Amino acid sequence: MNTEPESKPDTLALTYAAWLTRLWLAVRAIQTGIEKFAGKAVSEEVVAIDGSPNDYGLTASSAEKAYSLDNYHGVPAALYDKFAGEPLIPGFFLKFYDWVLGPALLVLGLTILLGIASRTSLFLLGALYISLTWGLILLGEPGNAGVAWLAAHMILIVMALQLSRHNKLCVLKKW
């Protein structure tokens, strides 16, 4: 009979693994949410010629990245147009989804980062990524690169859920 004692799991390594997956998913969600408020602050001035504004509308412009509520676009414009043409996506749902996507990413990213109901937050983030996957499947994206990209996120979420027992430093352990 084998009398060697069973090897103990390396709990420190598992804790680090839990933190890394938690941090990655949180950063990914939070920054993606923030970027939905990003836009370009374009300053455009009509060029003066011979002391007067020109009649042609020639302008000198500069554009800088800026964040504001007015810039908010949950679903990127190019994708929104395509989704709007999908008969399986009702108009009201698309509008709601567009409205909720950015805030949802921010809230779930923060709850995962702070460890608030981590398992439920991870589950909801996974559900959100599934909804994005469904949209990309509907659009018939060539090569399905976006679907594969989201699948990588799902693998990380599953890993984070598996590691949840080792997820220390949480504000709310429950759920």
Partner 1 sequence: MNDSPTSLSRRRFIGSTGVAGAGLVLGAPGILKAAAAGGDAIHVALVGFGKQGEVLFNCLKNIPGLRFQAVCDISDWNRKKGMGQVRAVQGDLPKPYVDIDEMLATEKGLDVAIVATPDFWHSPHTVKCLEAGLHVYCEKMMSNTIDGARAMVHAAERTGKLCQIGHQRRSNPRYLYTYEQLIKGRNICGQIVNANAQWNRSLGASQDIGGDKLSKSIIVPDERLKQYGFEDMHQFLNWRLYHDLSGGPISDLGAHQIDIFNWFLGTQPKALFASGGHSYFKKREHFDNVMAIFDYDTPQGEVRAFYQVLTTTSAGGGFWESFMGTEATIKTAEIASSSAIYREDGAPSWDDLVEKGYLKRKPAPPKPQSSEGAVAAYESAAPEEYDLPGGFNKPAHQPHLENFFAAVRGEASLNCDAAHAFESEAPIFYVNPSAERKERIEFTQEQLSV
Residue 82 in the binding site for partner 1 (CB under 8 A): yes
What is the torsional sign of CA 86, 89, 91, 97?
negative
- Residues forming a β-bridge with 45: 60
Residues 140-159, mask of contacts with partner 1 (x by CB under 8 A): x-------------------
Out of 84, 100, 145, 169, the only residue in the binding site for partner 1 (CB under 8 A) is 84
- Residues forming a β-bridge with 44: 61
CB of 105 to partner 1, least distance (A): 21
- Looking at residues 44 to 73 of the shown chain, list those that interact with partner 1 (rule: CB under 8 A): 44, 46-52, 54-61
Out of 7, 64, 69, 85, the only residue in the binding site for partner 1 (CB under 8 A) is 85
Out of 7, 12, 69, 91, the only residue in the binding site for partner 1 (CB under 8 A) is 91
Which residue, among 66, 65, 71, 63, has the nearest Cα to 43 in the 3D structure? 63
**Nearer to partner 1 by C-beta: 47 or 169?**
47
Residues 96-135, mask of contacts with partner 1 (x by CB under 8 A): ----------------------------------------
- Mark the segment that binds partner 1 (CB under 8 A) among 82-90, 106-114, 143-151, 160-168: 82-90
Q: Which residues bind partner 1 (CB under 8 A)?
A: 42, 44, 46-52, 54-61, 77, 80-86, 91, 140
